[in-house]
């Protein structure tokens, strides 16, 4: 019987987070060993299938159209292009391809049909397929599931309290609703967040309360460190120290014992020793590839050399859950409903987001 708890309080999580480091590491590593093979790390490759031009105002994101960050936008990639990238990822040891599109939400139509075809194609390569496409309705999640989607990523980003200081174009509850739609569709849930955005420790704990109270808990949780990109509202925030990342990974491992905890953005700033401590503290997944959507990431060869030094092995696909079956488009049970869901638009003002927008306008 699972001993996973869904009623962690913020105070309990703060007590864990703030323990003397050696005790925290020992406790987290003990939980990790009870629930996972400590020498296996799952490797995912992130492919940006549609970059930039996003209508949202996430304060950390260089892909928001309203900020001037100099990234090159792309239209939706073709299916053969994505297939070629997936094959390359497979050859270099990735078991999962995560396709990211800079969309507020999925819209029924030819572009979504193209994404469904990408899902079918990659599932047939016997790789786990994950998508991160913004908010989805239940019908859209069911169509993704039918195409063979293994996981859907939808991060909570931070605590419910701090969320309104980061994003004004959608609400925290919308995130939970999409996660619920994913869960109802038998797709595994990938949800985590970002630290180092100027939040308090209480917010980090608050995010873990929200994630751990989901029942079941997410199958994977990315922990990102902010990569402050010039032109975004958070451009001037100093990077966090490695110790904060280690503490966050350890706390996540303790409150979500069965989840795969993924070291995500910010790895280029971490030494091998720092990453080793994160693996010891319970991280058991990484993003591979030289770019994470638009921000830099360690080279695949560097990662494989690190695995060699640490004696780590990449996890095989479908180790944790069975491979979904792909239903072809012509046999689909779910039609496009051409839905126009009314996702929330709180529209409150976030001063630093407004300033970054004005600066972008001045820069033309």
Contact positions toward ligand SF4, by CB under 6 A? Answer: 54, 56, 58, 61, 63-64, 102, 104, 134
Minimum gap (Å) between residue 58 Cβ and ligand SF4: 3
User: Out of 96, 120, 130, 278, which one is annotated catalytic?
Assistant: 130
User: Out of 54, 96, 131, 278, which one is annotated catalytic?
Assistant: 54
User: Is the preceding peptide bond at 339 cis, omega within 30 degrees of 0?
Assistant: no
Please indicate whether residue 272 is annotated as part of the active site.
Answer: no
Q: Do 180 and 143 contact (CB within 8 A), yes or no?
A: no
Residue whose CB is less far from ligand SF4, 85 or 153: 153
User: Out of 61, 131, 143, 175, which one is annotated catalytic?
Assistant: 61
Residue whose CB is less far from ligand SF4, 275 or 295: 295
Spell out the alpha helix ranges (H) of the chain: 10-17, 21-35, 79-91, 110-123, 138-147, 160-163, 172-184, 201-212, 242-255, 272-280, 300-310, 351-362
Residue whose CB is less far from ligand SF4, 165 or 303: 165
Residue whose CB is less far from ligand SF4, 46 or 250: 46
According to DSSP, residue 267 is labeled: G
User: Out of 131, 262, 267, 278, which one is annotated catalytic?
Assistant: 262
Q: Do 26 and 256 contact (CB within 8 A), yes or no?
A: no
> To the nearest 10°, the Cα dihedral for 329, 330, 335, 336?
50
Minimum gap (Å) between residue 18 Cβ and ligand SF4: 29
Rounded distance between C-alpha atoms, residue 20 and residue 358, angstroms: 44
Q: Do 66 and 57 contact (CB within 8 A), yes or no?
A: yes
Minimum gap (Å) between residue 64 Cβ and ligand SF4: 4
Please indicate whether residue 61 is annotated as part of the active site.
Answer: yes
Please indicate whether residue 262 is annotated as part of the active site.
Answer: yes
Rounded distance between C-alpha atoms, residue 231 and residue 243, angstroms: 27
Residues annotated as catalytic (active site), given as ranges: 54, 58, 61, 98, 130, 190, 262
């Amino acid at each position: 019987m699972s001993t996973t708890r869904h009623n962690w309080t913020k105070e309990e999580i703060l007590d864990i987070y703030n323990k003397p480091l050696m005790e925290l590491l020992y406790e987290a590593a003990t939980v990790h060993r009870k629930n996972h093979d400590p020498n296996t790390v799952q490797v995912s490759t992130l492919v940006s299938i549609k970059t930039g031009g996003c209508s949202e105002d996430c304060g950390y994101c260089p892909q928001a159209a309203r900020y001037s960050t100099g990234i090159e936008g792309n239209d939706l990639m073709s299916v053969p292009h994505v297939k070629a990238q997936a094959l390359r990822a497979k050859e270099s040891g990735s078991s999962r391809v995560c396709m990211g599109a800079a969309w507020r939400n999925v819209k029924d139509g030819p572009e979504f049909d193209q994404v469904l075809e990408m899902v079918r194609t990659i599932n047939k390569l016997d790789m786990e397929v994950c998508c991160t496409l913004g908010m989805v309705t239940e019908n859209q999640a069911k169509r993704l599931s039918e195409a063979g989607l293994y996981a859907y990523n939808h991060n909570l980003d931070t605590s419910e309290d701090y969320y309104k200081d980061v994003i004004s174009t959608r609400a925290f509850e919308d995130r939970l609703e999409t996660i619920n739609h994913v869960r109802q569709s038998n797709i595994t849930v990938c949800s985590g967040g970002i630290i180092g955005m100027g939040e308090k420790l209480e917010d980090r704990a608050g995010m873990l309360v929200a994630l751990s109270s989901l029942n079941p808990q997410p199958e994977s949780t990315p922990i990102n460190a902010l990569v402050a990109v010039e032109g975004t509202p958070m451009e001037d925030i100093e990077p966090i120290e490695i110790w904060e990342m280690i503490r966050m990974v350890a706390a996540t491992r303790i409150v979500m014992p069965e989840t795969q905890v993924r070291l995500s953005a910010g790895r280029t700033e971490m030494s091998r020793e720092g990453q080793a401590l994160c693996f010891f503290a319970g991280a058991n997944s990484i993003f591979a590839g030289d770019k994470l959507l638009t921000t830099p990431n360690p080279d695949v060869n560097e990662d494989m050399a690190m695995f060699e030094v640490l004696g780590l092995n990449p996890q095989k696909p479908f180790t944790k859950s069975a491979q979904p079956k792909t239903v072809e488009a012509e046999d689909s049970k779910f039609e496009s409903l051409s839905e126009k869901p009314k996702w929330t638009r709180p529209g409150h003002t976030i001063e630093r987001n407004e300033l970054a927008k004005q600066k972008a306008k001045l820069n033309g």
